[in-house]
Amino acid sequence: VQVVQKDAFERLNLKQMLMEPEFLKAIEADVNLVADLVSLRSAMPDKTKDIARSIISDIVAKLMQRLEQKTTEAIRGALDRSRRTNRPRQRDIDWPRTITANLRHYQPDHKTVVPERLVGFMRRQRRLVDLDEVTLCVDQSGSMASSVIYASIFAAVMASLPVVRTKLVCFDTAIVDLTEELSDPVEVLFGVQLGGGTDINQAVAYCAERIERPTKAHFILITDLYEGGNGQELLQRLAALVRSGVNVVVLLALTDQGRPGYDPAMAGSVASLGIPVFACTPDHFPDMMAAALRREDIGAWAAGADIKLIRADTEAAKTAE
């Protein structure tokens, strides 16, 4: 149904029908619909806008339910797994060790173990200044609509974790810093301005100025790399971030779809800087982010996940040298 709907909207230019409350109530809701509603919200009548907001809230809630637990488990880097405790929080329980330690309490009638003693990981306290900082810098041009939605949801989940400091910046030719809105992902989406041109260089400059501790910083740039600004300056800025110790990753898309459209020349040039460049699905993103926070080799992680990285442009690499 979702595929047919999307095809109908694109082929028959049916987006005008999204202005009608009755039609809006009847269609199947998905990420693509959220993107359409967000892009059209300024032109909607108030009655339709209320229905649209309700639909967006429902879809966001479902996506949060799907993605939140895995993201939280993957990114929670505050666990000190070298120390154990017998009074762990539920999410910190080491279930294999707990089951092993309580095998003598196996209940044949119920075919289960009733644990008398829990074994878990002790959480170490981290000061605010010690926290890793993650900046999601997301291209909000029309072609990146689904990526913006997923990135906004991941940013909201990560912002709720006390183990990282998360920022969300969306851009086209203008820059919108949505960090202060991350407690409410629906508000984040209503702050997004889908469509327009692209000035990646300007957005990278904005984010670079706000990175406080480069060696504790992770910069995730989500864009198709079709640059409408200064491409050469963009490469220089990204190279400077890498030299300063920032962990830079470029995602060409963050969607459930397959191969994204992107600028192959710019992608090869960015890869020549030693920056991993690839497309990522929402299901892979939590593990990718966890690997980045551990400063692991993202190329090796991608190979293990059967994800192909963009190859470096050898000519660009020579120029960079």
218 φ, ψ to 5°?
A: -130, 120
Tell me, yes or no, whether 206 and 263 share the same domain.
yes
- 55 by Cβ neighbours in 10 Å (0-12 / 13-18 / 19+) ranks as middle
Tell me, yes or no, whether 52 and 86 share the same domain.
no
Q: Is the residue at 239 inside a domain?
A: yes
Tell me, yes or no, whether 220 and 253 share the same domain.
yes
pLDDT tens series, the chain, 321 aa: 656 666 766 676 666 666 666 766 666 667 777 777 777 766 677 777 778 788 888 888 888 888 888 888 787 653 344 455 666 767 677 788 888 888 888 888 888 888 888 777 655 544 444 678 999 999 998 778 889 889 999 999 998 887 789 999 999 999 999 999 998 888 888 777 777 789 999 999 999 999 999 999 999 999 999 999 999 999 999 999 999 999 999 999 998 876 688 999 999 999 999 999 999 999 999 999 988 988 889 999 999 999 999 998 755 444 444
d(CA 172, CA 175): 7
Query: Which residue type sits at 8?
Result: A
Alpha helices in 210-255 (DSSP H): 231-244
Tell me, yes or no, whether 38 and 163 share the same domain.
no
Tell me, yes or no, whether 132 and 111 share the same domain.
no
Tell me, yes or no, whether 187 and 132 share the same domain.
yes
Tell me, yes or no, whether 86 and 168 share the same domain.
no
Structural domain harbouring 97: 79-123
